[in-house]
């Protein structure tokens, strides 16, 4: 079927938002409708474009739903093994200390299989940014329990709801990371409302600035959704997120640099 | 730079010194006996001479740092010993699939399990057959002296860059720990390191973005990648095979052995000659690509072949594949960290010479 290309601006509509043309490719996102991943990609690439650092930024994609982040982000990128993005990013940064380096990881990637790499990268105070997408579930593999899954939350591997007896407590890894002296900045943001997206952008901007100032490791957690894994509509998912995720994962700064 | 006069050095230290001279920009590793001297030497001498040396939290982290560093366009390496190399296998598979050049050193020890810190060749299968998942190969070099512990580092980096393929130096604890005289090659890394336009260094406007990945989700694409890898391995098999012969010209009986076992086997050849048995040694230097043609040529000249290894019999399978039944192939080996003595090997050789050749007997 042929699609008719219409130029909305030529049709007299006002342009209120444009894709960051240099840093975000025109590839169609493979994410489910309403998924937070796409929004975080966009905000990240807006920053790279606005700061004019496309030629100075190297990203590391995880294994998880965002494994194809490099299809969308028009910058040099490496795709790491599951959980090892911060180890890969460490090496990239050590060899190119003048570049901005970030890893982009889900909760399974960063807080389960990759916990050792996450903690030790932060403990070395590597001058990188970890973007941590906490959707409390394993999206890519079909909705299994994550370390961040809430108590009582149903997933395909906690069909009766997560219990402490079988699975212990939801892991608040950002709070753990914040305790490490090598870490400069830890903040928790979200993407479920336009206002939240604005706050996220500000937080990411801070993180890029701190990296430039060589302040140490920065971690930006994004409380996100997984409408497919949660078996909700995007609207329901965003409401559920605010009501159920925020009490355990409250948004706001956890650690900020001294000066 | 000139060739330095010979110095007395440990195998591990000679290897580390050669890595600095080969222009290795970063080393990532985790301590494990019998190779910790590599990390220790580089943490001191390497850092002093500008190398990035990072003691990682595990071998898993180390190999993924190697992935990141190689993908960022640098000459990078790691080293470990058997259990640590096992832990790296997922990462090595990713590196092979993403076609990244790097050096991985295995100063192996006796296994399985935590095993022993004594020397062993029990990791031959793991090194040469693709130790992790999927159809991939490493180029594997097997030194048998401290001099080769140094020399093969330059060769390894050159081969890695030439083929964009991980290269392994497969040594053992004895080669790592022994002290011998070593001279360092005249080598200018700048002349040997090719441009890496594919590396992730930051995307200028003038080029498309560079992506380092091992993910090719469509099976048709993944098959094409596999075909390309196999084509590369075919070229490597054609061009990069190395082996060495000792007294094979007039030999009636051949020994095939690599690494430390080849030194022992050479002693056994000398004993045999003193007893009037015309024995000779073929020493594979590349374990992948395997010197199958040289083994076949040996089989066409001799009445029987003895394979000597410090394991339960691993390379002997490759020897048998090359010999294709032309002559009997027997095996003599010790396991678990024991080095066979030249007398033991000579006894196994005598056994071969007195056997009824028609039996194709095996001595395990
Ligand atoms: C070594 C290894 N173990 C398991 C997997 C399977 N796997 C792929 S993604 C994933 C979980 C991803 O979840 P998360 O990191 O939370 O990201 P999301 O998909 O939710 O964005 C798992 C278990 C793998 N690819 N590699
Ligand atoms: S499965 Fe979940 S995390 Fe993955 S794309 Fe769909 S909504 Fe997003």
pLDDT digits (tens, 9 = 90+) for A178-192: 999 999 999 999 999
Give all domains of chain B, ordered by start, each with its CATH number. Answer: 7-198+213-239 (3.40.50.970), 243-363 (3.40.50.920)
User: How many structural domains are present in chain A?
Assistant: 1
Q: How buried is B222 (Cβ within 10 angstroms: 0-12 exposed, 13-18 middle, 19+ buried)?
A: middle
**C-alpha B49 – ligand 1 centre gap (Å):** 40
A158 in ligand 2 pocket by Cβ < 6 Å?
no
Interface contact B67, partner A, CB < 8 A: yes
Task: Determine the structural domain holding residue A172 and report its residue range.
Answer: 37-255
pLDDT at residue B321 tops 50: yes
Residue A12 lies in a domain: no
Q: Which pLDDT score, from 0 to 100, does residue A17 have?
A: 86
Residue nearest to atom 1 of ligand 1 (CA): A82
Residue of the nearest CA to atom 1 in ligand 2? A139
pLDDT more than 70, % of chain A: 98
- pLDDT above 80: residue A259: no
Ligand 2 atom 4 nearest Cα:
A139
Question: Does the CB atom of residue A155 touch ligand 2 within 6 A?
Answer: no
As given in the structure block, the two tokens for residue B13 are: 């230290």
Question: Residue B2 pLDDT more than 60?
Answer: no
Q: Where do the H-state alpha helices sit in chain B?
A: 11-21, 36-41, 47-48, 59-71, 82-87, 89-97, 124-128, 146-163, 173-177, 189-192, 219-239, 259-274, 292-301, 315-323, 342-354
- A8 in a structural domain: no
From ligand 1's centre to the CA of A137, what distance in Å?
A: 10
DSSP per-residue string spanning A61-108: E-SSGGGGHHHHB-SEEEE--TT-HHHHHHHHHHH-TTSEEEEEEEHH
Contacts of B200 in chain A (CB under 8 A): 58, 76-78, 92
Q: Please report which ligand is nearest the Cα atom of A146.
A: 1
Q: Using a 6 Å cutoff on CB, does residue A135 contact ligand 2?
A: yes
Nearest CA to ligand 1 atom 2: A82
Residue A73 lies in a domain: yes
| A 78-107: CB under 8 A from B | 78-81, 84, 87-92, 94-96, 99
- Could you tell me the pLDDT band of residue B34, with boundaries at 50, 70 and 90? very high
C-alpha distance from B45 to closest chain A C-alpha (Å): 18
Tokens of B193: 């390191």
A-chain CB neighbours of B60 within 8 Å are 84, 87, 116-117
Measured between beta carbons, which residues in chain B are less than 8 angstroms from residue A76?
200-203, 209-211
List b or e across B269-289, with b for residues whose CB sees 16 or more CB atoms inside 10 angstroms.
bebbeeeebbbbbbbbbbbbb
Which pLDDT does position A3 carry in this prediction? Answer: 59
Task: Work out whether strand B243-246 and strand B279-284 pair parallel, antiparallel, or are unpaired.
Answer: antiparallel
pLDDT tops 50 at residue B361: no
In a domain, A229, yes or no: yes
- The whole-number pLDDT of residue B358 equals 41
C-alpha A63 – ligand 1 centre gap (Å): 5
Across B26-49, average pLDDT = 98
Domain assignment of residue A84, yes or no: yes
Q: What is the mean pLDDT of residues A144-151?
A: 98
Interchain proximity A88–B200, CB inside 8 Å? no
Q: Which of A91, A99, A119 to mutate to test the interface with B (most CBs of B within 10 A)?
A: A91
B154 Cα distance to chain centroid:
13
Please tell me the predicted confidence (pLDDT) of residue A144: 98
CB nearest A89 (choices: B52, B56, B68)? B68
- What count of CB pairs under 8 Å joins A to B? 120
- Residue B322 pLDDT exceeds 80: yes
Give the pLDDT band of residue B223 (cuts 50, 70, 90). very high
Whether the predicted pLDDT of A61 surpasses 70: yes
Asked if the structure places residue A67 within a domain, the reply is yes
Query: Nearest 10 degrees: CA dihedral of B43, B48, B49, B52?
Result: 50
Residue A71 lies in a domain: yes
Protein residue with least CA distance to atom 22, ligand 1: A141
Smallest Cβ–Cβ distance between B209 and the set A77, A80, A84 belongs to: A77
Q: What's the pLDDT at A26?
A: 94
**Mean pLDDT over residues A211-231, rounded?**
98
| Residue A141 near ligand 1, beta carbon < 6 Å | yes
What CATH number corresponds to the domain at position A56?
3.40.50.970
Mean pLDDT over B305-323 rounds to 98
Nearest CA, atom 10, ligand 1:
A64
The chain-wide mean pLDDT, for chain A, equals 96
- For position A2, what pLDDT does the model report? 56
**Nearest by CB to B211, which of A70, A95, A117?**
A70
Q: Which residues 151-190 on chain B approach chain A with CB closer than 8 angstroms?
A: none
Q: Sorting pLDDT into bands at 50, 70 and 90, what band is B217?
A: very high
The answer, yes or no, to whether any atom of ligand 2 lies below 6 A from the CB of A83, is no
Kindly determine whether residue B65 and residue A55, on different chains, have CB atoms separated by under 8 Å: no
Any ligand 1 atom below 6 A from CB of A136: no
pLDDT classification of A8: cutoffs 50, 70, 90 = confident
The whole-number pLDDT of residue A11 equals 84
Q: B207 exposed, middle or buried (CB, 10 Å; 0-12, 13-18, 19+)?
A: exposed
Q: What's the pLDDT score for residue B135?
A: 97
Residue A123 lies in a domain: yes
In A, which residues are within 8 Å of B214 by CB distance?
Answer: 79
Give residue-wise pLDDT tens across range B109-148. 999 999 999 999 999 999 999 999 999 999 999 999 999 9
Token duo for residue A110: 């960063």
Q: Name the closest ligand to CA A32.
A: 2
Round the average pLDDT of chain B to a whole number and report it.
96
**CB of A149 shorter than 6 A to ligand 1:** no
Q: Which residues pair with B282 in a beta bridge?
A: B245, B256
The distance of B203 to chain A (nearest Cα, Å) reads 4
Token pair for B336: 């678990």
Grade residue A76 by pLDDT with cuts at 50, 70 and 90: very high
Give the per-residue pLDDT at A72.
Answer: 98
Tell me the C-alpha to C-alpha distance, in Å, between residue B214 and each of A25, B157, B325.
21, 21, 40
Residues of chain B found within 8 Å of residue A95, distances taken between Cβ atoms: 25-26, 52, 69, 72-74
Average the pLDDT over B348-361 and give the result: 72
Q: What is the number of other CB atoms lying within 10 angstroms of the CB of residue B230? A: 12
pLDDT at B360: 43
- Look at strands B102-108 and B166-172 and give their pairing: parallel
Structural contact between residues A106 and A68, judged by C-beta atoms closer than 8 angstroms: no
Instruction: Give the percent of chain B with pLDDT over 70.
Output: 96
Tell me, in angstroms, the distance from the centre of ligand 1 to residue A84's CA: 11
Specify the higher pLDDT residue, B359 or A102: A102
Contact of A21 with chain B, judged by CB distance below 8 Å, is answered with no
Which residue among A41, A64, A117, A170 has the greatest number of ligand 1 atoms within 8 angstroms of its CB, and so is best to mutate? A64
Instruction: Read off the pLDDT of each residue in B79-98 and give the average, rounded to a whole number.
Output: 98
> In this predicted model, which residue has the larger pLDDT, B357 or B307?
B307
If pLDDT is split at 50, 70 and 90, which confidence band does B4 have? low
């Amino acid at each position: 079927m042929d699609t008719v290309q219409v130029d909305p601006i030529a049709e007299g509509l006002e342009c209120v938002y444009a894709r960051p043309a240099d840093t975000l490719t025109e590839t169609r996102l493979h994410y489910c409708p309403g998924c937070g991943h796409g929004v975080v990609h966009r905000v990240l690439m807006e920053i790279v474009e606005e700061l004019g650092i496309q030629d100075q930024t190297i990203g590391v994609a995880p294994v998880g739903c965002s494994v194809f982040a490099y299809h969308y982000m028009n910058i040099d990128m490496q795709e790491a093994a599951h959980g090892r993005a911060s180890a890969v990013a460490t090496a990239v940064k050590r060899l190119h200390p003048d570049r901005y380096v970030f890893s982009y990881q889900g909760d399974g990637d960063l807080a389960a299989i990759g916990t050792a790499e996450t903690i030790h990268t932060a403990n070395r105070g590597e001058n990188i940014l970890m973007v941590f997408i906490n959707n409390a579930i394993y999206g890519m593999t079909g909705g299994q329990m994550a370390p961040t899954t809430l108590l009582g939350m149903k997933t395909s591997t906690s069909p009766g709801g997560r219990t402490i007896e079988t699975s212990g407590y939801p892991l608040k890894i950002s709070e753990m990371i914040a305790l490490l002296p090598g870490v400069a900045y830890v903040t928790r943001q979200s993407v479920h409302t336009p206002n939240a997206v604005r706050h996220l952008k500000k937080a990411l901007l801070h993180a890029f600035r701190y990296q430039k100032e060589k302040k140490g490791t920065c971690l930006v957690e994004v409380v996100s959704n997984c409408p497919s894994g949660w078996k909700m509509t995007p609207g329901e998912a965003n409401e559920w997120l605010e009501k159920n995720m925020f009490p355990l994962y409250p948004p706001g700064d956890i650690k900020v640099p001294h000066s | 730079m000139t060739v330095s006069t010979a110095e007395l050095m440990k195998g591990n230290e000679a290897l580390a010194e050669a890595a600095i001279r080969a222009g290795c920009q970063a080393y990532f590793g985790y301590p494990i006996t019998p190779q910790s001297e590599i990390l220790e030497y580089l943490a001191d001498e390497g850092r002093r001479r500008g190398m990035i040396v990072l003691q990682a939290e595990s071998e898993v982290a180390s190999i993924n740092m190697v992935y990141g560093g190689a993908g960022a366009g640098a000459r990078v390496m790691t080293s470990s010993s058997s259990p640590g190399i096992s832990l790296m296998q997922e990462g090595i598979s990713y590196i092979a699939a993403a076609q990244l050049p790097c050096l991985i050193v295995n100063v192996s020890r006796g296994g399985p399990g935590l095993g022993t810190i004594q020397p062993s060749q029990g990791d031959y299968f793991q090194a040469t057959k693709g130790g992790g998942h999927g159809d991939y190969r490493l180029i594997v070099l097997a030194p048998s002296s401290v001099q080769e512990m140094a020399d093969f580092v330059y060769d390894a980096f050159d081969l890695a860059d030439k083929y964009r393929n991980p290269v392994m130096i497969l040594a053992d604890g004895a080669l790592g720990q022994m002290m011998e005289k070593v001279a360092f090659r005249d080598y200018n890394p700048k002349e040997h390191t090719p441009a890496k336009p594919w590396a992730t260094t930051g995307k200028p406007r003038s080029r498309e973005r560079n992506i380092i990945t091992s993910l090719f989700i469509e099976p048709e694409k993944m098959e094409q990648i596999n075909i390309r890898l196999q084509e590369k391995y075919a070229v490597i098999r054609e061009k990069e095979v190395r082996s060495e012969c000792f007294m094979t010209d007039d030999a009636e009986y051949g020994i095939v052995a690599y690494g430390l076992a080849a030194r022992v086997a050479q002693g056994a050849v000398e004993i045999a000659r003193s007893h009037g048995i015309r024995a000779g040694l073929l020493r594979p230097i590349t374990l992948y690509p395997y010197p199958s043609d040289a083994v076949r040529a040996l089989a066409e000249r001799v009445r029987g072949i003895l394979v000597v290894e410090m394991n339960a019999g691993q390379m002997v399978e490759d020897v048998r594949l090359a010999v294709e039944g032309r002559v009997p192939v027997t095996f003599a080996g010790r396991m678990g960290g024991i080095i066979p003595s030249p007398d033991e090997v000579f006894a196994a050789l005598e056994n071969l010479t007195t056997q009824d050749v028609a039996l194709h007997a095996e001595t395990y």
